[in-house]
């Protein structure tokens, strides 16, 4: 049997789970909300069973508990957005029904159920923070409007379903106290996030000087399985937190402007690596792609800075690639083209990262001095399961071919995905199937251990691997 090249590297540390702060916060809130909804629903079902006040009340309590349990299930499956939408929709409707039919203010006991609209507004804002501004603001406005309406009016539909007054007298205290408790919990969650963020930012300032930044290298292989280059990915080796992944510190560095020294450090380090490889026959052919942030590219001195680094390191320019993303090409295309053209004239290559997810117009694409298109991981991941993703991947390959660009697929995790892409004439592959991002020593070892046999796995073998 012909061996299928499979370059997995088991001992590279994986990024901590739920690394992104915002995402972690959303997860936590969905979990807390799901838990409290289940427990609250259950407790009310019990109270109902003991005192027995109405079928409507019982139905609402069952819906509350069921929604809470489904949310916990969605949380376990990492479907945070769906859990958030469910939380919002169910809670909002239940609160309205409660306020209109069950908890109508009287001379003895004011209405209290509507106080929960306030923590709900904050919960929803935090959960949908990364979502569209429309959704994020709409959920808050609806909650505030509902709170105001039920707080400022005595509106209600009086029926026999109304919760008896002797219970509502205590309900006022219970509802208001637990709504305040929820608000306090939410504030402490937000406070903790701010502290982590501020702390990290202060520490990142010193990280470069302290030598805590490292470049990891993720292999890029051709159709024969030969490693032809690497993408350099920045890592922060925090003295106490361990390896901090870029989705935490890159956005923070972009906000604070620290991306400029850090980004320049990455370009310089990659150049020095390329220079070192020139003395090794087995490594001299490798290229390195370095990610560039929008803020870096926008700076007037971007070209001068890169040229200075290239001169100081004497890098073989043709081995260096810069990765831009589509979103950088929306504004100010002419200035971007001008910058790229200067660097391109010195031999630097350009790759368009995450291609297919942005809005780059094809007429711009034709004018950009690019060398490579990178099919976004989202299409590669679904290439075997979603016909649309497959079509988009095929289209990107054909587009690249007709524009004379190389096409690389990122996020290739299985032999089946690679085979599909290879069958569709994609030439270069990057992803966990080839190798995870790894420290330089491991990457060099990987390059030297990869058999130089030109084995193209046939599809049946690939599936078996």
Binding site for ligand G (CB under 6 A): 218, 233-234, 245-247, 250, 259, 263, 266, 290-293, 353-354, 377, 410-413, 431-432, 437
Closest-by-Cβ residue to Mn ion is: 353
- d(C-alpha 450, C-alpha 7), whole Å: 8
Instruction: Verify binding: residue 61, Mn ion, rule CB under 5 A.
Output: no
Q: Which does 397 bind (CB under 5 to 8 A by kind): ligand G, Mn ion, none?
A: none
**Residues 312-351 close enough to bind Mn ion by CB under 5 A:** 323
Residue of 39, 42, 45 lying closest to 58 (CA atoms)? 45
SS3 360: coil
Residue 263 interacting entry, from Mn ion, ligand G, none, C-beta within 5 to 8 Å by type: ligand G
Closest Cα partner for 229 from 447, 452, 414, 415? 447
203 vs 353, beta carbon nearer Mn ion: 353
Shorter beta-carbon distance to Mn ion: residue 25 or 321: 321
Instruction: Provide the 10 A C-beta neighbour count for residue 371.
Output: 16
Long-range contact set of residues 254-262: C-beta below 8 Å, sequence gap at least 24: 254/293, 254/294, 254/295, 255/201, 256/201, 256/204, 257/295, 258/201, 258/204, 258/205, 259/293, 259/295, 259/296, 260/295, 260/296, 260/299, 261/208, 262/204, 262/207, 262/208, 262/213, 262/234
Nearer to Mn ion, 222 or 354 (CB): 354
Is residue 291 a contact residue for Mn ion (CB under 5 A)? yes
Instruction: Kindly tell me which of 415 and 431 has the beta carbon lying closer to ligand G.
Output: 431
> What does 233 interact with, of ligand G, Mn ion, none (CB < 5 to 8 A by kind)?
ligand G
* Least distance to ligand G, CB of residue 413, Å: 4
411 binds, among Mn ion, ligand G, none (CB under 5 to 8 A by kind): ligand G
Q: What's the chain's Rg over C-alpha atoms?
A: 28
Q: What are phi and psi of 349, to 5 degrees?
A: -95, 160
* Span near Mn ion by CB under 5 A; candidates 18-26, 110-118, 353-361, 432-440: 353-361
- The reply to whether 91 sits near Mn ion by the rule CB under 5 A is no
- Range list of H helices, 240-375: 246-256, 259-277, 294-298, 302-313, 333-345, 362-367
Applying CB under 5 A, among 103, 203, 353, 444 the residue interacting with Mn ion is: 353
Q: Minimum Å distance from CB 374 to Mn ion? A: 7
Supply the minimum distance, in Å, between the C-beta of residue 251 and ligand G.
9
Binding residues for Mn ion, rule: CB under 5 A, are: 291, 323, 353
């Amino acid at each position: 049997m012909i061996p299928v090249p499979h370059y997995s590297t088991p001992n590279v540390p994986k990024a901590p789970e739920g690394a992104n702060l915002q995402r972690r916060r959303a997860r936590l809130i969905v979990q807390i909300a799901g838990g409290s909804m289940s427990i609250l629903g259950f407790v009310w079902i019990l109270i109902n069973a003991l005192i027995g006040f109405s079928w409507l009340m019982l139905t609402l309590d069952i819906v509350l508990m069921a929604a809470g349990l489904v949310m916990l299930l969605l949380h376990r499956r990492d479907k945070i957005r769906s859990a958030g939408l469910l939380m919002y929709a169910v809670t909002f409707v239940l609160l309205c029904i409660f306020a209109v039919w069950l908890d109508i203010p009287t001379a003895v006991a004011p209405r209290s159920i509507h106080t929960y609209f306030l923590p709900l507004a904050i919960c929803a804002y935090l959960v949908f923070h990364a979502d569209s501004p429309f959704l994020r603001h709409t959920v808050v406005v609806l909650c505030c409007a509902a709170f105001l309406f039920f707080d400022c009016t005595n509106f209600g539909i009086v029926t026999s379903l109304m919760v008896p007054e002797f219970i509502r007298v205590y309900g006022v205290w219970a509802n208001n106290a637990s709504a305040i408790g929820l608000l306090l919990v939410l504030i402490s969650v937000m406070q903790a996030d701010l502290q982590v963020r501020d702390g990290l930012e202060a520490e990142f300032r010193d990280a470069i000087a302290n030598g805590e930044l490292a470049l990891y290298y993720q292999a890029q292989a051709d159709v024969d399985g030969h490693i032809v280059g690497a993408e350099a990915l920045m890592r922060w080796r925090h003295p106490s937190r361990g390896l901090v992944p870029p989705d935490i510190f890159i956005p923070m560095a972009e906000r604070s402007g620290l991306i400029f020294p850090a980004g320049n450090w990455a370009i310089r380090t990659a150049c020095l690596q390329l220079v070192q490889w020139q003395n090794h026959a087995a490594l001299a052919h490798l290229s390195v792609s370095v990610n560039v942030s929008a803020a870096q590219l926008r700076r007037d001195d971007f070209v001068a800075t890169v040229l200075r680094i290239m001169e100081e390191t004497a890098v073989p320019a043709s081995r260096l690639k810069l990765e831009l993303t589509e979103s950088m090409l929306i504004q100010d295309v002419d200035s971007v083209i001008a910058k790229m053209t200067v660097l391109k004239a010195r031999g630097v290559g350009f790759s368009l990262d995450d291609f297919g997810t942005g809005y780059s117009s094809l007429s711009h694409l034709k004018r950009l001095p690019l060398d490579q298109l990178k099919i976004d991981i989202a299409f590669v991941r679904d290439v075997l399961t979603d016909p649309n993703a497959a079509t988009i991947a095929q289209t990107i390959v054909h587009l690249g071919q007709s524009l004379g660009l190389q096409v690389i697929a990122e996020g290739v995790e299985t032999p089946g995905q690679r085979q599909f892409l290879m069958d569709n004439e994609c030439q270069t592959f990057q992803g966990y199937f080839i190798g995870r991002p790894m420290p330089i020593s491991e990457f060099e070892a990987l390059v030297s251990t990869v058999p130089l046999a030109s084995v193209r796995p046939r599809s049946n073998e690939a599936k078996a691997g």
